[in-house]
């Protein structure tokens, strides 16, 4: 069965420090992965998708099929990065839908 694991509930870093939010997945098919972000008092929104190989707000994520991982990284954390981050897997088994991880709260301290 498909599964998305985010092992950290909370990640606290200092401003300017590197950030890595971990995401591991389990899926028998060809995975399509996303990172969604929820800033305080805002809607959940797409941050980036692996298929686009894009960098958004300084964040990147590389799909590593060997390690079944899709970690989100940023070299220098900013205060405005503080938010809840969800990793999500799109799968077609049993219908076209997303499975979300449990989320990681990122707190960037001054």
The residue among 39 and 76 lying less far from another protein, judged by its C-beta, is: 39
Q: Is 52 in the site for another protein (CB under 8 A)?
A: yes
Residue selected from 27, 59, 70, 86 as contacting another protein according to rule CB under 8 A: 86
Q: Is 99 in the site for another protein (CB under 8 A)?
A: yes
φ, ψ for residue 87, nearest 5 deg: -95, 140
Residue selected from 12, 45, 64, 78 as contacting another protein according to rule CB under 8 A: 45
Residue selected from 14, 40, 43, 110 as contacting another protein according to rule CB under 8 A: 43
| The 3-state secondary structure of 8-77, one letter per residue | CCEEEEECCCCEEECCEEECCCCCEEEEEEECCCCCCEEEEEHHHCCCECCEEECCECCCCECCEEECCC
| Binding range to another protein, per CB under 8 A, among 17-25, 44-52, 58-66, 68-76 | 44-52
Residue selected from 22, 49, 69, 82 as contacting another protein according to rule CB under 8 A: 49
Query: What H or E segment, with its residue span, contains residue 105?
Result: strand 104-109
Q: Is 35 in the site for another protein (CB under 8 A)?
A: no
Q: Is 110 in the site for another protein (CB under 8 A)?
A: no
Angle in degrees, CA 37, 75, 10, rounded to 5: 45
């Amino acid at each position: 069965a498909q599964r998305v694991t985010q092992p950290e509930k909370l990640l606290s870093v200092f401003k300017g420090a590197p950030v890595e939010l971990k995401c591991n997945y389990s899926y028998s098919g060809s995975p399509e992965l996303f990172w969604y972000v929820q800033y305080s008092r805002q809607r959940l929104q797409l941050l980036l998708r692996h298929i686009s190989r894009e960098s958004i707000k300084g964040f990147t994520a590389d799909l590593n099929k060997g390690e079944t991982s899709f970690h989100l990284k940023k070299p220098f954390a900013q205060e405005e990065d503080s938010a809840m981050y969800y990793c999500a897997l799109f799968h077609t088994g049993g219908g076209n839908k997303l499975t979300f991880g449990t989320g990681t709260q990122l707190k960037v301290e001054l």
